[in-house]
Amino acid sequence: MNVNEQITTFLNSNLLDKYLIGQTTTSESVEVEHYINTYPEVKKVYEQLQDKLELSAQINAVKAPENALDNILNALEEETPVIPMQPKKPRKKWFSLAIAASVAALLFASSSAYLYVQNSNLSSENQVIVDEIFDLRSDIAKNNNRLNDILEQFKQLNNPETEKYVLQGNRSAKDLKTVAYINPKEKKSMIDVVSLPQLPDDQVYQIWADIQGKMVSLGILTEADRKLQEIPYTEDALGLSISVEPKGGSLERSNDTPVAEISLKLNE
């Protein structure tokens, strides 16, 4: 422990306060006097405490009534003559008691403030821990849901009833590739976007299902969709196709020549 840490530890021990009111043991007094004489910082704090205690003692002192002495002397003169004497200065014992009371008040105030600060800090720390636990539980719940979704997807992929369809792009989109997984028994459809060629900002890729010659939209495909995800299942679909549509998608397929298409074997 370095010097600064020793001084801080000493000042936090309240030995100076005990020393001022004469409550230290012999060994404690020797230790206090050593610190006062050795370290100017301690001496300065000691002198400041002395000044504060003396001021507090003077403020808290109860002043005797102005006529109290005269009244006592008059009462005594009725029986035996006395020679008036100058009032003595307050005894050191009274002064020490006043200082002790002031020290006790200061210690109580300091302890109350310290406990208040500690309680506030503890409340803040507890709130932080509660928030972290809440966030952790939320993350765990999200991860569990995500894990359940992945397990469900793998279950569908490994289901013998699930058919796999690869949609390759034509000359207009040579690098386009998506894989569709359809299970007519479970009525589940999923798609895996493997690659999508870059399009102008005002165009998007849209996937369609062919139901008796009517094209039904299954959603818009983007680069962000490069993961296995569910798409609406369509009963009696004859095929799937992907077309280039205006940004935001279309209610009807506007391009009669899709960039990728495939027939389904669900009705065979």
Structure tokens at 68: 């109290």
Q: Which position has the token pair 């008691």? A: 97
Query: For the chain, how long is the longest CA-to-CA vector?
Result: 139
Query: 168 CB contacts (<8 Å, ≥6 apart)?
Result: 176, 177, 260
Q: What is the pLDDT of residue 46?
A: 87
In the chain, which stretches have pLDDT less than 70?
56-114, 116, 146-158, 225-226, 255, 266-268
Q: What is the pLDDT of residue 14?
A: 85
Tally of CB atoms within 10 A around 193: 21
Q: What is the pLDDT of residues 188-223, one digit of tens each?
A: 888 888 888 888 999 999 899 998 888 999 988 887
What are the residue boundaries of the structural domains of the chain, listed by start? 3-122, 163-263
